[in-house]
């Protein structure tokens, strides 16, 4: 068994003891990917639940699935994890509850509500990220950043938003990444909509590309804006302001602070830059990793930030936006979706400099 799984199984065992459980069933795609070090237990992309489950106990790991999925899961997704099989024919009515009860008679919990087992939340076990996860995340950041930068330098006025989405999707898939969110807006659609699903509209003067890219369970978020004309003074002023807000979020995302502390610092910067009400028009982001966001940050979040957590803040001011994915450290947060060649705004915040992506003018 690989070291990563041993570490995560140890976290599960602590939870078993804490909750007085004899077993935990994990089925959610995010939890399966976390425990297996990036394994995929999905077929359809538009679901949070997988086609197989793992039953984790103090001493054994069981794979529970039907005969359609068993071979691929064992041979491609959990090759380094020794499991005992509970496999049933796809065409027969096999109840998960009954199959689990063949193994364990005592207290068992599941990571998804199903009316048969107690529900347990294991997302708190996802952090801190371990070294191998951080390397996978950084690699995803490098790939996604290169792809988006390349597309922003390649596209020209006249291309449609859906064509840009197609290029982005094709490049991500070709590099082993799955686009779980693609937002493409051009011109007035950047101003009109915070969640601009790509359309057949042709790009004229501006384009904004936002993506959440998935690889081995981890999800990276980032946004970039390209302009084919000199941006107006208003857009320049707004973008500088949103970069200042983003810098405030990033600078304050450090161990010891609460998520609510960080949120409040960002809201204060909205006010100081002259855009006090803009934060009310869209959420500001929050912790991420094996989910696009575990929750949307507000001033009420009292969770204490620790080292090796992932966050993606996405402040926006009508017509512009700033977004990258970061990992907390004992010192300054590490931005893992940064392109050294992309034009930047170097923001000074409380004595430190934080580089935020500027608008690329071509």
Query: DSSP letter string over 112-181?
Result: S--SSSEE---GGGG-SPPHHHHHHHHHHHHHHHHHHHHHHHH--TT-BHHHHHHHHHHHHHHTT-EEEE
CATH class, range 3-126:
alpha beta
pLDDT in tens, 269-304: 999 999 999 999 999 999 999 999 999 999 999 999
Contacts of 84 (CB under 8 A, 6+ apart): 60, 61, 62, 63
The confidence score (pLDDT) of residue 250 equals 98
Q: What is the pTM of this model?
A: 0.96
Number of residues assigned to the chain: 362
Boundaries of every domain in the chain: 3-126, 131-361
pLDDT tops 80 at residue 200? yes
Percent of the chain with pLDDT over 70: 100
**pLDDT of residue 169 exceeding 80:** yes
Q: Which CATH number fits domain 131-361: 3.30.70.600, 3.90.1280.10, 3.90.230.10, 3.20.20.150?
A: 3.90.230.10
**Angle CA(184)–CA(188)–CA(343) in degrees, nearest 5?**
60
- Of 207, 202, 205, 209, residue with least CA distance to 158: 202
**Residue-level pLDDT at 53:** 97
Say how far apart CA 306 and CA 127 lie, in whole Å: 9
Q: Which of 237, 185, 23 is nearest to 111 (CA)?
A: 23
pLDDT mean across residues, the chain: 97
The dihedrals phi and psi of 256, each to the nearest 5 degrees, come to: 105, -30
Q: What is the mean pLDDT of residues 26-32?
A: 98
- Tens of pLDDT along 76-97? 999 999 999 999 999 987 788 9
């Amino acid at each position: 068994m690989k070291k990563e799984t041993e570490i995560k199984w140890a976290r599960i065992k602590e939870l078993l003891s804490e909750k007085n459980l004899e077993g935990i069933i994990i089925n959610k795609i995010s939890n399966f990917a976390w425990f297996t070090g990036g394994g995929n237990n999905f077929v359809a992309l538009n679901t949070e639940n997988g086609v197989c489950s793992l039953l984790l106990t103090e001493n054994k790991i069981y794979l529970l699935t039907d005969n359609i999925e068993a071979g691929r899961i064992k041979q491609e997704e959990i090759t380094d994890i020794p499991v005992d099989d509970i496999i049933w024919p796809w065409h027969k009515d096999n109840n998960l509850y009954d199959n689990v009860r063949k193994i364990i008679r005592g207290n068992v919990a599941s990571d998804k509500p199903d009316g048969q087992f107690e529900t347990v939340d294991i997302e708190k076990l996802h952090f801190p990220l371990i070294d191998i996860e951080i390397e996978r995340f950084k690699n995803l950041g490098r790939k996604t950043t290169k792809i988006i930068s390349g597309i922003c330098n390649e596209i020209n006025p006249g291309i449609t938003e859906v064509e840009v989405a197609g290029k982005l999707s094709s490049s991500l898939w070709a590099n082993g990444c799955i686009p779980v969110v693609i937002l493409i807006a051009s011109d007035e659609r950047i101003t009109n909509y915070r969640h601009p699903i790509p359309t057949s509209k042709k790009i004229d003067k501006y384009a904004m590309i936002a993506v959440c890219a998935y690889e081995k369970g981890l999800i990276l978020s980032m946004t970039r804006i390209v302009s084919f004309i000199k941006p107006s003074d208003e857009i320049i002023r707004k973008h500088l302001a949103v970069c200042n807000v983003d810098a405030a979020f990033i600078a304050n995302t450090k161990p010891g602070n609460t998520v609510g502390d960080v949120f409040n610092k960002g809201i204060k910067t909205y006010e100081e830059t002259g855009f006090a009400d803009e934060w009310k028009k869209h959420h500001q982001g929050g912790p991420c990793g094996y989910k696009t966001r575990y929750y949307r940050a507000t001033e009420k979040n009292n969770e204490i930030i620790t080292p090796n957590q992932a966050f993606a803040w996405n402040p926006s001011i009508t017509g512009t936006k700033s977004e990258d994915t970061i990992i907390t450290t004992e010192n300054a947060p590490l931005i893992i979706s940064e392109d050294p060649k992309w034009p930047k705004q170097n923001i000074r915040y409380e004595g430190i400099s934080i580089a935020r992506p500027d608008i690329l003018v071509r």
